């Protein structure tokens, strides 16, 4: 049996998953002086490059967990302040129908940072902790040995700690062992994530609502498009040069486009294996009768950026018995992307868990408080996200 890496207080936290939540937790634990290690199944850093909406929960969590120079880098590479920090609801003719406030207080009253490029954020979160983040380690399960928990990896190998945190997403291996009764619920079968470069022509053509934090559009057939501009305060490449030792990939201005398609004609193609050009044709066909500016947006999508996916969620879990295994982020409360609660909730989980473990209280007591608070805030967020899309709500209730 492998020895446990010792911490000065006897704690050693094993984190499974190197997404935004797992990396933020590792930053918070290191800042608190708590020994930890992160294990990620991907062979190396390969985070998807799409926009994440950031609100008060996410911004505050990053401020609590990151060293000051990394927090400043995060704000420098976040989107410049929008016209209105809210979601604008349009019809397919480009007419604004309503607005939806989503995150309450601004995350920073001086420089509200309302969105960030996901890969950029993960690269910032990885900075300074590469010695404790281990790629190419796919967790297959865990077991208890005495008072410790041991994680097993595909191909052999183990990691031992005093606490295991599942930050491994909606298909969490850790959750499937801890809460096997919690089943993933599919909501939208055919959704396409993509990016359209923000050219001058496109910027001039788009409705003014695109200068807000986020835009949602639905037509009478149920086709749904969600979009958000990504224009960082400072060019990501310039910010990286100014931050010695932090490697960030360059990112050009773009519009993130997520399109849900009802009953697409896939012909001989499998949705997830279809050529990118075919998927782009599905997107164009879905908006063929929309306003010219919205068609221009979809026409401008770069086919190489298109990623097919299903939209899924987890039902709110019942209370579980606190032990030395816990969860955060999508591993325990994956929710629809409407209003962007997912990343913010994962970051808040990470900050709250790091603070609980650093509180000086007994670990079980700290974990019980963390898990109780997590459950109390998850259901209202989930219900609010579902309420923004009646079609999704109906499917979730089946």
Lowest average pLDDT, out of 35-49, 60-74, 106-120, 243-257, goes to 106-120
pLDDT of residue 387: 65
> Last residue of a domain, which of 293, 311, 329?
311
Q: What is the largest CA-CA distance in the chain?
A: 65
> Last residue of a domain, which of 311, 341, 356?
311
Kindly tell me the number of DSSP H helices and DSSP E strands found in the chain. Answer: 13, 17
Pair (192, 178) in one structural domain: no
**Domain count across the chain:** 2
Pair (217, 286) in one structural domain: yes
Taking 80 as the threshold, does the pLDDT of residue 385 lie above it?
no
pLDDT of residue 386: 61
In a domain, 228, yes or no: yes
Q: Which of 22, 116, 127 is nearest to 75 (CA)?
A: 116
Report the C-alpha gap between 282 and 287 in whole angstroms: 9
In a domain, 230, yes or no: yes
Report the C-alpha gap between 293 and 48 in whole angstroms: 27
- Parent domain of 294: 186-311
Taking 60 as the threshold, does the pLDDT of residue 29 lie above it?
yes
Q: What is the pLDDT of residues 128-173, one digit of tens each?
A: 999 999 999 999 999 999 999 999 999 899 999 999 999 999 999 9
**In this structure, what CATH number is given to the domain that contains residue 195?**
3.30.9
213-231 b/e with 16+ CB inside 10 Å = b?
A: bbbbbbbeeebbbbbbbbe
Percent of the chain with pLDDT over 90: 64
pLDDT of residue 305: 95
Rounded to 5 degrees, what are φ and ψ at 282? -60, -40
Q: What is the pLDDT of residues 204-246, one digit of tens each?
A: 999 999 998 889 999 999 999 999 999 998 888 778 777 767 8
Q: How many CA atoms lie within 13 A of 251 on its CB side?
A: 33
Report the C-alpha gap between 387 and 111 in whole angstroms: 29
Rounded to 5 degrees, what are φ and ψ at 195? -135, 140
> Last residue of a domain, which of 311, 332, 351?
311
137-155 b/e with 16+ CB inside 10 Å = b?
A: bbbeebeeeeebbbbebee
Judged by DSSP in three states, 299 sits in helix
Q: Which of 245, 252, 202, 199 is nearest to 49 (CA)?
A: 252
In a domain, 227, yes or no: yes
Report the C-alpha gap between 27 and 71 in whole angstroms: 11
Taking 50 as the threshold, does the pLDDT of residue 1 lie above it?
no
pLDDT of residue 213: 82
pTM: 0.91
**In this structure, what CATH number is given to the domain that contains residue 67?**
3.50.50.60
């Amino acid at each position: 049996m492998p020895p446990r890496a010792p911490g000065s207080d006897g704690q050693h936290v094993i984190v499974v998953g190197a997404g935004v939540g797992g990396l933020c937790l590792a930053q918070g634990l290191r800042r608190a002086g708590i020994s930890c290690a992160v294990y990620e199944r991907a062979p190396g850093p390969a985070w998807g490059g799409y926009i994440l909406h950031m609100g008060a929960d996410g911004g505050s969590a990053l401020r609590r967990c990151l060293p000051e120079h990394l927090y400043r880098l995060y704000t420098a590479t976040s989107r410049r302040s929008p016209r209105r920090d809210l979601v604008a609801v349009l019809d397919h003719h480009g007419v604004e129908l309503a607005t939806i406030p989503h995150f309450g207080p601004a995350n920073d009253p001086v420089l509200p940072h309302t969105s960030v490029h996901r890969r950029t954020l993960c690269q910032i979160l990885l900075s300074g902790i590469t010695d404790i983040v281990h790629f190419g380690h796919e967790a297959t399960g865990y077991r208890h040995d005495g008072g410790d928990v041991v994680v097993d990896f595909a191909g052999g190998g183990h990691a031992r700690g005093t606490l295991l945190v599942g930050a491994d997403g909606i298909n969490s291996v850790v959750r499937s062992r801890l809460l096997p009764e919690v089943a993933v619920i599919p909501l939208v079968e055919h959704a396409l994530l993509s990016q359209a470069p923000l050219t001058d022509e496109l910027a001039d053509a788009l409705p003014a609502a695109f200068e807000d934090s986020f835009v949602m559009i639905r037509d009478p057939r149920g086709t749904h498009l969600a979009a958000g501009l990504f224009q960082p305060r400072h060019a990501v490449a310039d910010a990286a040069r100014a931050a010695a030792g932090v490697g960030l990939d360059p990112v050009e201005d773009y519009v993130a486009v997520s399109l849900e398609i009802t009953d697409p004609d896939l012909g001989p193609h499998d949705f997830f294996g279809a050529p990118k050009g075919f998927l782009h044709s599905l997107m164009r066909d879905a908006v063929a009768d929309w306003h010219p500016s919205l068609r221009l947006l979809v026409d401008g999508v770069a086919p190489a950026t298109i990623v097919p996916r299903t939209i899924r969620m987890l039902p709110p879990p019942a209370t579980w018995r606190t032990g030395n295994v816990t969860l955060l982020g999508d591993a325990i409360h994956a929710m629809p992307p409407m209003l962007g609660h997912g990343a913010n909730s994962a970051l808040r989980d990470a900050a709250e868990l790091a603070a609980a473990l650093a509180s000086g209280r007994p670990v079980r007591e700290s974990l019980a408080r963390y898990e109780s608070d997590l459950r109390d805030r998850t259901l209202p967020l989930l219900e609010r996200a579902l309420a923004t899309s009646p079609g999704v709500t109906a499917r979730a209730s089946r």
